[in-house]
Amino acid sequence: MAKKDAAAKDALERKSTEEMILNFGKGKYSAIPMAALWAKELKKREENRHLTPAELLDLALREVLSGRVEWKDLKKAAVAEVAADVPAE
């Protein structure tokens, strides 16, 4: 299974971002807000702290365009963020 994941990652890296945008089936204009929200979520993660803003946005855009991230994932992240901000009574 590790070989399959590595092969999928290699195939994703070979495609240019422009090609992925043009071939995105859900409408390229809906991918932009999704990528922006996902970039904010990725920035919070410890493993991504070393990435520049441009690298974060590229990573987020690639994950959205590849189908790894969908609206339901973004909703979960937003709910978790709101729950973390609410003080315990």
pLDDT averages per 10-residue partition of the chain, 89 residues: 56 72 76 87 90 91 87 82 67
pLDDT of residue 86: 62
Tokens (6 digits) for 38: 């996902």
| Single-letter residue type at 54 | A
What angle, 0 to 180 degrees and rounded to 10, lies between the N-to-C axes of helices 71-85 and 28-44? 40
CA 60 to chain centre: 3
> What proportions of the chain, in percent to the nearest 5, are helix, strand and coil?
75, 0, 25
pLDDT of residue 1: 47
Q: Give a three-class secondary structure readout of 3-25.
A: HHHHHHHHHHHHCCHHHHHHCCC
